[in-house]
Structure 1
Amino acid sequence: MMDILMYLFETYIHSDAELQVDQDELEDELLRAGFQQKDIYKALQWLEDLAELQDTDKHSAISMSASTSTRIYTAKEMSRIDVKSRGFLMFLEQVGVLTTETREMVIDRVMGLETSEFELDDLKWIILMVLFNVPGNENEYTLMEELIYTTEQGMVH
């Protein structure tokens, strides 16, 4: 599922390709690219769920959280998101890349993945996807891209 999401992100979003794609056409393209139908459906549903997170009426508890609050992870979240990834999320909040709201969106989408393996690099992709899809986070998206780039170059620890 992560492979499909990354493929879609790189092909349609990151490359500035045409964003208005017919869903049937998109499914056909993904099938031709070698992805399985059930995984394609799950990935597209995951993206729809991401879009729904922007409905503030449904997630008013998230938007009402104080920026100084501390996030306590559930056992299920801790089993999916390791210590290194949780530390990275905290770091991104401290430097202003993530707000409490976008952090919760990221966590929601991580938990919405149907995959047995999840690593820090996967988390970075999820963060980029969330920031790209939430209006008003263009600067944060750019900062995240720069942070990933400099981290890959070995300049940031």
Structure 2
Amino acid sequence: MFEVLVYVYENYWRGDACPESGQLGRKLSAQGFDPQEIREALHWLDGLSLATQGIQLTRHADGTSATVSLEGPTALPQSPGSMRVYSRAEQEHLGAECLGFISFLESSGVLPAGLREIVVERAMATTDDTLELDELKIIVLMVHWSTGIEPDALVLDELCDDTVHRVAH
């Protein structure tokens, strides 16, 4: 499924530029992707589309952070001193490495609370037993892609770069 998501990310500049599911499925099939992977990815993308509906992004004047607000009477903003506590199922599915990366993105101002919840929800919607860090990075990219939010260049590098072969200077 993640190979399909990477293909979609690389070939459609934003979520609203992506064709509807039927047409996208045919294009993915023509590219040679496995039908089961296509079905899983399309189902996952439909869930992402539903999760990101009604998101409003407000960039702060400093340009380094953003506030995500959700429309509707049940959407409450996160209090400044609040802390996200992950359920046992989330801890087991995401693992320490992924949870640490989410925390890093949050503290960097890259992943506001509203987007974090979408990332966690979409990560929990994957079928793997334990999510790998590279898979989480794809999910973060896809959430940004779906909302039309362009990540900072350094963050984009962190999300896309192969850190195994990175040379420290």
TM-superposed CA distance for 1:81, in Å, is 0.5
Report the Cα distance in structure 2 between the residues aligned to 1:141 and 1:46, rounded to whole angstroms: 25
Scaled by the length of structure 2, the TM-score of the pair is: 0.74
- Which residue number corresponds to residue 58 of structure 2? none
Whether the aligned pair in 1 keeps the contact of 2:119 and 2:140 (CA below 8 Å) is yes
TM-superposed CA distance for 1:51, in Å, is 1.7
Report the Cα distance in structure 2 between the residues aligned to 1:142 and 1:74, rounded to whole angstroms: 32
Query: Which has the bigger relative contact order, CA under 8 A and spacing at least 6?
Result: 2
**Partner residue of 2:32 out of 15, 34, 41:** 34
> How many percent identity over aligned positions?
29
Report the Cα distance in structure 2 between the residues aligned to 1:151 and 1:59, rounded to whole angstroms: 41
**Residue segments in structure 2 that go unaligned for 5+ positions in a row:** 55-69
Report the Cα distance in structure 2 between the residues aligned to 1:109 and 1:142, rounded to whole angstroms: 23
Whether the aligned pair in 2 keeps the contact of 1:2 and 1:122 (CA below 8 Å) is yes
Whether the aligned pair in 2 keeps the contact of 1:97 and 1:143 (CA below 8 Å) is no
Q: Give every structure 1 segment of 4 or more consecutive aligned residues whose post-TM-superposition deviation is greater than 4 Å.
A: none
TM-superposed CA distance for 1:71, in Å, is 1.2
Supply the RMSD in Å over aligned alpha carbons.
2.8
Number of aligned residue pairs: 150
TM-superposed CA distance for 1:11, in Å, is 2.2
Whether the aligned pair in 1 keeps the contact of 2:29 and 2:35 (CA below 8 Å) is yes
Whether the aligned pair in 2 keeps the contact of 1:131 and 1:141 (CA below 8 Å) is no
Cα distance change of structure 1 residues 82 and 20 upon mapping to structure 2, 3 Å threshold: closer
- Which residue number corresponds to residue 3 of structure 1? 3
Report the Cα distance in structure 1 between the residues aligned to 2:161 and 2:2, rounded to whole angstroms: 23
Higher strand share: 2
**1:122 aligned partner, one-letter code:** E
Q: Once the two structures are superposed, what CA deviation does each residue of 1:81-137 show, in whole Å capped at 9, x if it has no partner?
A: 0101101111111110111111111001101112345211111111111112224x3
- 1:84 equivalent to 2:82? Answer no
- Which residue number corresponds to residue 13 of structure 1? 13
